[in-house]
Structure 1
């Protein structure tokens, strides 16, 4: 007894000295940072233990790394409010790499057999092709490959490994979906603040830098961008979550839930409207009909078409609502051949076709868009704006790469449809319907904007496509579940 008491006292004493040493080192380190960096040092000293705790949690459970990756993708846009240069992209790279390490550390709990999924094979084929592109002899500056391969394939490959192998639960999916909707709701409110109250000083600085004012101030009207990278990305996300919210209105059984998601749908839709992003309309025009096709509810699809046709005709052949800027932007989306910017895009694509005629593998990853302007501004690929995600893929990987990429997207959609149609559990069905319909809508919009290469859309798509492809993991037949519950009740006797 005395020996046990001694051991406990000794352990407590050791812990006391350990905590005291850690606290002392932390105090010295914080003091040094504050003395050298001032306010920035104070912020770093506060964040350091938080970051360390998160890193430990990622190593303990890769699911936390996946969840943190999704949250960070929404925080990227806040960098414009910080006076110091924060390499958020590299932080996300590091987080995904650390999460992959966590998979191996916790290897015995991981379901490695799911890497044989057809969806993962499609992503691996595309990933390997982008690696081969590193050796493209046409690339004027090969190190630029590292900047564009991340949104092209690397992050998708890494997120796919984690989403497939980690023991993700239904609760984890609920947290991810709810956090996605919550971030989107906050983004809509921030856009309303921009529209009806005004911009923050940091947002004004961003707007006046580069070409941002030219693309976000049209005819004296602000295209709201919230805390996302730009208005196009914000509009795409708002249109996507509008589709998700509307689907939940149809799928929820309880009236209170229906009303809650209807409210969210209206908020998100107006967020899309104040973004002034015309092409985001096609996220909804493609996503919601695809949802009805998934349900194989052709009566509702027919009713939807009957209701939609008069609205489309109203926008096409009347001037009703033209005094409202948002309505006029929607109207112009349906008449692209009357839009000078769309005609300019077609002219640019004709120029690109001449350059790419003899380049089946493209000019090399990292030669166009932002990376091209940064590293090889004199190259032809950097001088012609792609104005489209698929055009960017075409420029950098050629017609071979574009064909592979589109086949991958179509393959993922086909696999998703097959898997979803086999589901029995209502909860899983409504979640996967929303994921798949939103993915289809975003894929359609990719023709006009590079939304499939920007946060947070990439993170949502990269995770959701693999959740859809393996949705059978969470499927429970309601009849079987009810029978199992009844059997358990009988086995325990009467209550």
Structure 2
């Protein structure tokens, strides 16, 4: 007993000395940072240990890393509130690479056989094509490839690997959904503050730097909340509105129906104050797709009958034109009366001339910010694509954009098949919303590059992989063709179906 007590005392003394040493070193480090950097050094001294704890947790648990990625994707938009330029986009890259490293560190717990999923193969094919584009002889500055390949395909294949391999549970899906809807709700409230109370000095500075030309039209502010721009904010609000409306139809409880109906109204008005006309097509395309998913043709016909007069009212009358938001929605349905849409068509005609002999495009990284920064003299940098698919067309050619669209269709097709095989009502409700929103955003991609921007790309990268592997959480799971019989009977799979 005496020897045991002595051992414990020695161990306690050793821990005390170690912690004392760490404390002393930390104090010296804080003093050095404050003396050299002032208040900034103090902030770094406080954040440093927090960051180390987060990184350690990410390495220990890949599931935690995935949720850090989700939070950071929404926080990226706050960069305009930070005086000094911080590469928030690179922070997301860092989180994704740490997560991949964490997968290998915890490899024995991961479900690597799920990478045989047909959807992962499709995403892998698109990533491989983008890698081959690095050798495109037409690219004026090849290092710019690294800037645009991230939203094009790198992040998608990284997230796909994480979602499929990590043994996620139904509770993890609930956390993801709650996080997304909460951030969207806060974004709507901040947009209302911008619209009806006013802007912060940093937001006004952002507008004064040249963004007022696209965000103040006819004296009316297009609210952008804490997103990258009004188009991104409007798309996210339209997607959240669509999901909330679908869940109103799917819920059995009256209280939950009322709750989601209230959320839908908040999100819809958030979409309205964004002034993003093309986001209307998220709803126009997404909701009919949801009814097709349900194979409820009676409701589909009723929806068409109800919606047609409203569309005709917007297209052929001036009812509500005194309201700016209503007028913006009306102009989305009459594009040939819109000078900006006509200019887009003229730009596309110019591109068609340049791309006639470039089946693989001008090279990844030649348009928008990458082109302006690295090859401003090139024709691709001098024409605004104003569309996700047009940007892909310019950078990867008709071969690339065709392949990309076929892959999107393939992912949707796999998702439809998986959802139709589900038995669990809660899971069906969640997957209906995810898949319908993805289809709506894919349609909107013709007019805005929202599929390649935070946080929308984060949401759809995760949600699409959840949809194509949704059988994992069904109460009566359907075995994937790519999963062998032995895999379908493993303990982790049985655990996930509970």
* TM-score, normalisation: structure 1: 0.95
- Aligned twin of 2:376: 377
- Aligned twin of 2:46: 46
Partners of 1:466 and 1:134 lie apart in 2 by: 26
CA deviation after TM superposition for structure 1 residue 21, in Å:
1.6
Q: Deviation per CA, 1:322-379, whole angstroms, max 9, x where unpaired?
A: 0000000000000001101001000100000010000000000000011111111110
- Aligned twin of 1:435: 434
Partners of 2:404 and 2:223 lie apart in 1 by: 31
Counterparts of 1:337-486 in structure 2 under 5 Å? 337-477=336-476
SS in 2 for 1:209: helix
- Aligned twin of 2:20: 20
Partners of 1:181 and 1:35 lie apart in 2 by: 43
CA deviation after TM superposition for structure 1 residue 67, in Å:
0.7
Does the alignment pair 1:72 with 2:94?
Answer: no
Counterparts of 1:6-17 in structure 2 under 5 Å? 6-17=6-17
- Aligned twin of 1:109: 109
- Aligned twin of 1:489: none
- Aligned twin of 2:316: 317
Partners of 1:37 and 1:297 lie apart in 2 by: 64
Partners of 1:100 and 1:106 lie apart in 2 by: 10
SS in 2 for 1:365: coil
- Aligned twin of 1:149: 149
5+ residue gaps, structure 1: 479-495
Q: Deviation per CA, 1:265-313, whole angstroms, max 9, x where unpaired?
A: 0000000000000000000111111111111111111111111111111
Partners of 2:262 and 2:42 lie apart in 1 by: 41
Q: Deviation per CA, 1:71-130, whole angstroms, max 9, x where unpaired?
A: 100000101101111111111111100100110110010000000000000000000110
Partners of 2:252 and 2:57 lie apart in 1 by: 37
- Aligned twin of 1:96: 96
Q: Deviation per CA, 1:207-228, whole angstroms, max 9, x where unpaired?
A: 1113x11000100000000000
Q: Deviation per CA, 1:231-271, whole angstroms, max 9, x where unpaired?
A: 00000000000001111111111111111111100000000
Partners of 1:223 and 1:90 lie apart in 2 by: 28
CA deviation after TM superposition for structure 1 residue 29, in Å:
1.6
SS in 2 for 1:30: helix
Q: Deviation per CA, 1:420-461, whole angstroms, max 9, x where unpaired?
A: 000001111111111100000000000000001100001001
Does the alignment pair 1:131 with 2:124?
Answer: no
Partners of 1:301 and 1:19 lie apart in 2 by: 66
CA deviation after TM superposition for structure 1 residue 474, in Å:
0.3
Equivalent pairs counted in the alignment come to 477
- Aligned twin of 2:166: 166
CA deviation after TM superposition for structure 1 residue 477, in Å:
3.5
- Superposition misfits of 4+ residues, deviation over 3 angstroms: none
- Aligned twin of 1:178: 178
Partners of 1:256 and 1:269 lie apart in 2 by: 20
- Aligned twin of 1:492: none
Partners of 1:99 and 1:277 lie apart in 2 by: 34
Partners of 2:45 and 2:296 lie apart in 1 by: 57
SS in 2 for 1:363: coil
CA deviation after TM superposition for structure 1 residue 142, in Å:
0.6
Partners of 1:54 and 1:251 lie apart in 2 by: 37
SS in 1 for 2:448: coil
Partners of 1:307 and 1:3 lie apart in 2 by: 84
